[in-house]
A and B are shown apart, each in its own frame.
Chain A
């Protein structure tokens, strides 16, 4: 099945959420405390076949138990040739509870030629007793046509959570993936295990018929894991003697004599995902909170590619640019999550912004915060990094703790295009650009950005960033600056710098000499230095610029354009 609409009311930090899900690989990003994980938990609670779920007052939004928790999930695209789906949609079950779905959410009936869906609602009132229903249309309580949905029925929905809770899935416990894969075994395992419990020894259990079937499943898991890049020696079901109760959950998957639950978190995630892919022929739904946890970048990429190819629908969250770079924004794989002060949570696919894929790949980090400063290039980013460090040392809060990221727009011309897009996605956006090319970004265009609530930090007219630096730094520090530039640059040496300055046509007649401390201050020479630095890329990398500005910032007067304008930008970061 595929989840196509999610509505959540009064659950934990979410007052309300209505999410029209378009893609099959849905990765949710957004600043901390926007309830990303709560969304996954809500899906897990509503759809997974767990039998016991205990709610507390604190699960209610604002602890207000008078407002029912409602988690309503609408699904489509099931495979009606699958036996468990056919059983689910029999007249005696939910054949008469198929509903419709449009952009606004579930409808009581399918529309002609429209989508046929099924909508599951989990409702919890002040009694804290969760109740599951299949409902026709938006769950408005008693007035909505509904039918109770039991845990065994929810099995057919095929949802599993594969993150922190995945240890349990390595056992043949109630409704685990392994148990569901061993569906033919129903009922036998309990009896076998209670018998075995009496012996309680690590005897050879492989002779039992049910165990043999579990071994078959274990072999399949091994093969799938191997395909997923996890090489395991031999997987077999064994009595987990550390477990207290001898229920079916005591039978768990072992590699040689090591229980799978003792494996690394990344390996466990991959193996659990591999198992889940076998369920329902792969037509199912997986929830993975923080998909990157425990996985190296190459394993992340491998997992994402495999998950995409299995035909299952994935809901995941991430804080990793590696994950973001792998995603296809155009296919609605990336959603930004926002939560306002009233607890209204919204999710927007990045695909709503045209041509956003490139910026996302190139600036994956930027999308993980709530504020973005779009910079003209690496020099500007380096400048900001240095300023951040300078302010931090002066007692200011650093930008990273304020969920602010830098975005490399790559040119002034791109800034004016990119900033409105980022703003449209709900990011608070600032532009940081130099001011030496009206053809790239004109004064009128800057005014337009400002009018669209985008903060613009720009140098004085005609100045590139390098130009502004050589303009604002007190003259006595210029020789040190040149030395630091040369020290840091990989290919440029001090003599080359000096040489190209003194030979510059506009100052060649001054016969400056090779000792910069002897150079006389003049606006012309400052201008020439700035221009050369800019054109010859003296500080055109994040690292060069950061080092140079870190040196220069304490020396530049507070009244200078650099410091006053960066100061305003920082005010925006810290206060708005």
Chain B
């Protein structure tokens, strides 16, 4: 059955494959290219994690690199737009691109013969992964690319989730309209079969209609564990629930905000990593103010960064950090604080931030919650102090450097559906509160969350 789908993808000049979670989408792409396509294919996806997963699978099957090029839609479009901003009509920034402009600009570039020719020279076809994550400008770009090359897309409307501030995604009806041919559906739940929990996989496939119609699925026959937990007990309960479980665990919390700080601190101390979005939003907010803000704004932003990124700060430490960043307060008694105080009376300077990071790291009671942002900030400050380079530029370079550091190896983590989608775990623990549809997500998010754990899925409903 699957082989027929692979062959259909290879042969078709346009079409889509319905690919529910865990049913072998990556496999389908790699096998199609490796077995049924003789000429090079452009494989586009959305996240660097996705790129990484595809590349690893291609390597595993020893498909010659001349036969495929894997990139994110954003990365591929930007590679052209940054080379031809004038032809693309792109007047956004050259270092940190405005992505929607980039897709529109790439659409403009596809009108140019020399660009078309370059793409035709390079590829015989395009395969787009995770099509449900396409925004309207991305979809427009892909439809245009379809005029140039055979364009086949794989995706799952149920995994089409987006953040509260994000652009709306393409509707599945529009996708079907644009790509016409239904090339088949992938419907073997490999992920759960391989983990010895086929029943969960089958249940997820069976209940897709319920998720799609935004109603609570029938947990009757499910192997989903359910629990009700009081907010106050959450930290302790989570530890208890996950203590017994072996393997990789993700705890999926709300999208709109982070978990309660105390709960995060408890988890971080148990070696959980708090996932951050690719642009390290917390760090970005700090950098922007450090470059453009007033002294007072800089101090406030730095204080906020320290409180967001570190858990277990004592009130005393909090006060010291606030004071020294604002350039206020009296000379501290403790020797190490006094040294910092004596050396730094100009408020939130880069040198002070760097030294404060070291100071905070030296406090054993303090745990670092946002390890990515903190390590990136250290690198940026070090480079800035050494070379005097612009902080925003260094930030952009640092983000670019990190983009291929995959999260797929993360062992225990906490994040929202947006941050864990595309990742696979042994156990998924989902936290939702009574108002979950306002703060947490919708039934598609629930489907994504429940399909993250191959061995088990635990749904915790929180009560006040």
Binding site for B on A (CB under 8 A): 80, 86-87, 89-92, 95-98, 108-110, 112, 116, 136, 145
On whether the beta carbons of A110 and B122 are closer than 8 Å, the reply is: no
Residues of chain A lying within 8 A (CB to CB) of residue B86? 108-109
The reply to whether B118 and A91 form a contact with Cβ atoms under 8 Å apart is yes
Stretch at the interface among B76-84, B161-169, B245-253, B300-308: B76-84
For residue A451, give the distance in angstroms from its CB to the closest CB of chain B. 47
Bound: A112/B79 CA distance, A: 20
Q: Within 8 Å CB of B119, what residues of A?
A: 91, 95
Q: Which residues of A contact B69 (CB under 8 A)?
A: 91-92
B258 at the interface (CB under 8 A from A): no
Q: In the complex where A92-B69, A96-B79, A96-B80 touch, is A87 in contact with B87 (Cβ < 8 A)?
A: no
Contacts of A116 in B (CB 8 A): 113-114
Cβ of A136: which chain B residues have Cβ within 8 Å of it?
83
Q: Are A109 and B84 in contact (CB under 8 A)?
A: yes
Which residue of chain B is the closest to A118 with respect to CB atoms? B114
Q: How large is the interface on B (under 10, 10 to 19, 20 to 34, 35 or more residues)?
A: 10 to 19
B260 an interface residue at 8 Å Cβ cutoff? no
Closest CB of chain A to B239's CB: distance in Å? 50
Complex contacts, A91 vs chain B, CB 8 Å: 69, 79, 118-119, 121-123
Known: A91-B69, A91-B123, A108-B86. 18 other contacts (CB 8 A): A80-B121, A90-B122, A91-B79, A91-B121, A92-B122, A95-B117, A95-B119, A96-B79, A96-B83, A98-B114, A98-B118, A110-B87, A110-B112, A112-B87, A116-B113, A116-B114, A136-B83, A145-B83
Chain B interface residues toward A at CB < 8 A? 69, 79-80, 83-87, 112-115, 117-119, 121-123
Which residues of chain A come closer than 8 Å to B79, judged between CB atoms? 91, 96
Cβ-defined partner of A95 (8 Å) among B85, B87, B113, B121: B121
CB distance from A453 to the nearest CB of B (A): 44
Cα A342 to Cα B87 in complex, Å, equals 39
Once bound together, how far apart are the Cα atoms of A86 and B80, in whole Å? 18
Instruction: Please report the C-alpha to C-alpha distance between residue A80 and residue B120 in the assembled complex, in whole angstroms.
Output: 10
CA A116 to CA B114, docked complex, whole Å: 7
In the bound complex, what is the Cα–Cα distance between A145 and B94 (angstroms)?
13
B118 touches A90 (CB 8 A): yes
Tell me the interface secondary structure of chain A in the complex. Answer: loop
Q: Which residues of the other chain, B, contact A97 by a CB distance below 8 angstroms?
A: 83
Residue of B nearest to A83 (CB): B121
Closest Cβ–Cβ distance, residue A102 to chain B (whole Å): 13
A89 to chain B: which residues have CB within 8 Å?
117-118, 121
Contact B84–A90 (Cβ < 8 Å): no
Does the CB pair B117–A80 fall under 8 Å? yes
28 A-B pairs within 8 Å (CB atoms) are namely A80-B117, A86-B121, A87-B121, A89-B117, A89-B118, A89-B121, A90-B118, A90-B122, A91-B69, A91-B118, A91-B122, A92-B122, A95-B115, A95-B117, A95-B118, A95-B122, A96-B79, A96-B84, A98-B114, A109-B84, A109-B86, A109-B87, A110-B87, A110-B112, A110-B114, A116-B113, A116-B114, A136-B83
Q: Which residue of B lies closest to A95 (CB)?
A: B118
CB distance from A100 to the nearest CB of B (A): 9
Q: In the complex, what distance in Å separates the CA atom of A145 from the CA atom of B115?
A: 17
Contact partners of B117 in chain A: CB under 8 A = 80, 89, 95
How far apart sit A80 and B123, CA to CA, in the bound complex (Å)? 14
Residues of B within 8 A of A108 (CB): 86
- Report the Cα distance A97→B83, complex, angstroms: 8
Closest to B88 in A: A109
Residues of A within 8 A of B87 (CB): 109-110, 112
Q: Which A residues touch B123, using CB under 8 A?
A: 91
Of residues A87, A108, A145, which shows the largest number of chain B Cβ atoms within 10 Å of its Cβ? Answer: A108
Chain A's nearest CB lies how many Å from the CB of B442? 38
Chain B residues with CB below 8 A from A110, complex form: 87, 112, 114
Complex Cα distance A86/B83, Å? Answer: 19
Which residues of B have CB within 8 Å of A109?
Answer: 84-87
Q: How far is the CB of A135 from chain B (nearest CB, A)?
A: 12
Complex: chain B residue closest to A108, CB-CB: B86
CA distance A89 to B119 in the complex (A): 9
Closest to A80 in B: B117
Contacts of A96 in B (CB 8 A): 79-80, 83-84, 118
Q: Which residue of A lies closest to B79 (CB)?
A: A96
In the assembled complex, the Cα of A456 lies from the Cα of B51 at a distance in Å of: 78
List residues of chain A with CB within 8 A of the CB of B114: 98, 110, 116
Nearest Cβ on chain B to A112's Cβ, whole angstroms:
8
Name the residue on B nearest A136 (C-beta).
B83
Instruction: Tell me, in angstroms, the Cα distance from A109 to B87 when the chains sit together.
Output: 7
Q: CA A87 – CA B122 in complex, angstroms?
A: 8
Query: Which of B86, B118, B122 has the most CB atoms of chain A within a 10 A radius of its CB?
Result: B118
Residues of chain A within 8 A of B112, CB atoms compared: 110
Cβ distance A573 to chain B, nearest Cβ, rounded Å: 53
Q: Which residues of B contact A145 (CB under 8 A)?
A: 83
Query: Across the interface, which residues of A come within 8 angstroms of B115, CB to CB?
Result: 95
CB distance from A94 to the nearest CB of B (A): 8
